[in-house]
Chains A and B, each alone.
Chain A
Amino acid sequence: MTETRDPVDPFLPPAGAPVAPPVTAPSRTGPGPRRVRRERLGRLRSRSAPYALIAPFFLLFGAFGLFPLVATAWTSLFRVELTAPEAREWVGFHNYARLLHDEFFWNALFNTAAIGVLATVPQLLLALGVAHLLDVRLRARLAFRVVALAPYATSVAAATLVFALLFGRDQGMVNWALGLAGIAPVDWQNGPWASKVAVASIVIWRWTGYNALIYLAAMQTVPRELYEAAALDGASRWRQFLHVTLPGLRPALLFTVLVSTIGATQLFGEPMLFGSGAGASGGADHQYQTLGLYLYEQGWVNLHLGRAAAIAWAMLLILAVVFGAARLLRPVLRGRGV
């Protein structure tokens, strides 16, 4: 079709005159005004349609992703209380500066890192093992996969409450089992490390199956010929795993490490509910208060919205720093053939 309208069309009445619908030979005559309008509309439509189609995402992202992010950044520059959000007092970067001297913040940061390591490392190693077991021919594989994923489908609250009971000091099953083995009961709530291990164990329990399935999917894409070749070369099972399976898993490993790190930074539900009575303080001595919990405590217990917002942004910055460092370190790791 022509892109522009022919300026002089002898078969058409002059502009402004009543227009009769073109009834014959539309191919010979040029496009009528109505038709042009329709076409323009059509072009407009075809140009704007993609925007219209992706608009819902951007609208929702703007409302629930970008706006909160910006609003939080803005709020973090004020002294503002939940009791009177409209009465805000500009304090600049004071809320951030005070974090540097806030021992509760550093304690929460340390706890987050400690629980993160305690939870992520065993969880991913376990997941590798589980995936390997599921990868070899096994009876009732589907059943095992369902079992592996079941904890992931369990709600944090339900799982944590059960774990809190299991880790009870006086009546808990864990201490009962330890007692059978002749080990003195452990105060899982108050022990600075015992409590972190307990919280980490909930995370491990919930996420091992999920990661195992991701590894399993990646393992099944590794060509079997590679194993045969390795076997012909006399590689043991262990060396096959090390030199065939692991390199094949690299993208999956990176993905799970990334997701687990983000998850560890945001850890909230487990420590919140683990301290049945202590709530957002994360234990009597804040021994398992994570950054997420400290943020919540500042905002919704102490009602300091500005300080809570600053912690939220600090968490984002910490994640950025961690991933930036990981990027810088990657060539080094790659150089060592990992």
Chain B
Amino acid sequence: MWIQYKTIVIKEILRFSRIWVQTIFPPIITTSLYLLIFGGLMGDRIGDMQGVDYIHFIIPGIILMTVIQNSYANTVASFFLAKFNHSIEELLVSPISYWVILLGYISGGVVRGLVVGLGVFITISFFVDLQIYSVFIIFIIFFLTAVLFSLAGFINAVFAQSFDDISIVPTFVLMPMIYLGGLFYSVEILPEFWQNISRFNPIYYMVDGFRMGFLGSSTTGIVDSILVLLVMIILLSLLAFYLLKRGINIKT
């Protein structure tokens, strides 16, 4: 079982490493632009947010956004392509359990999230003197977020029938959730109605928890953030396993 798991993870890592120009490099460029625009050019005019200067406020969200996007992108692209070119059959004819397949793909997404997240972190550290409150909180929120969005990408790939289907969810669901999850602003500045709406957005809890790891303060509390992540991971894992076991859109 360990060899089978390791094989999938190595294959996944090699896949995104071979195309590093598409997978690892662009988030670093995008991050630099965010820092230039929101930090360097606009940050001073915006002033403080949640008690810290604006650039320090947005950095955790920017890092977490790249983790979310890359974990999701890795599993959705890899698993959909495996379906598209039928190489998924290599796994289906092998004595390999569905949990190992799921775990292998999720681990691939987590590793890409980690690599890109670290790349962005290092890039930012060249420009900004980063505050770190708790490495443990940073790591736990990063890890759980990467797992959750790798799972979400996997489920998207199972349902996807065309290349359009793997870009619709990131564009029309994921991106609005990220931007409205308090990435560039504190939810506390919103009217009460919109504050309440924001609390239904799981990304709000992740960004808030991740920010806690850097700045030492949050609006919801780290326990809520971890609980939301864990509950969602359990739900999506069960759904992904069910889809794999039933062979929905994989076996017919």
- A and B associate in one complex: no
